[in-house]
Amino acid sequence: MNNIKLYKFSLILSIPVIIIGAMFKIQHWPLASLIISIGLLISLIYIVIGLIDVYKNDNKMLPEKLMWLIGFLMIPMITGLIYYLRMTSKYNRIK
């Protein structure tokens, strides 16, 4: 359950930081690259947690695992949100 909290925190924190960094970059303000880099480093947390969870799950077949891998590498924000919604709905059904 602790991984879910860390996943949610890093996902919710990384998206606005990256968007703010992109806005700084568009305006040519200083520290834009640093802000984007910090946002991407924060996003690595939820990507790693998501991929570890996918590959430890024995219920998923190899094609589904590859789909999640490609999604997390190509479009991590959208894939992270979808995976979070699936993860929380799974735990809500158990309770």
pLDDT averages per 10-residue partition of the chain, 95 residues: 86 94 96 95 94 88 92 93 85 57
Cα-only R_g, the chain: 15
The pLDDT of residue 87 is 82
Residue 83 burial (C-beta neighbours within 10 Å; 0-12, 13-18, 19+): buried
- Please report the pLDDT score of residue 50 as a whole number: 92
Domain count across the chain: 1
CA distance 27 to 57: 44
| Closest by CA position to 37, among listed 25, 50, 52, 49 | 25
Any idea what DSSP says for residue 1? -
pLDDT value of position 58: 85
Domain of 67?
Answer: 2-94
Position 92 scores a pLDDT of 60
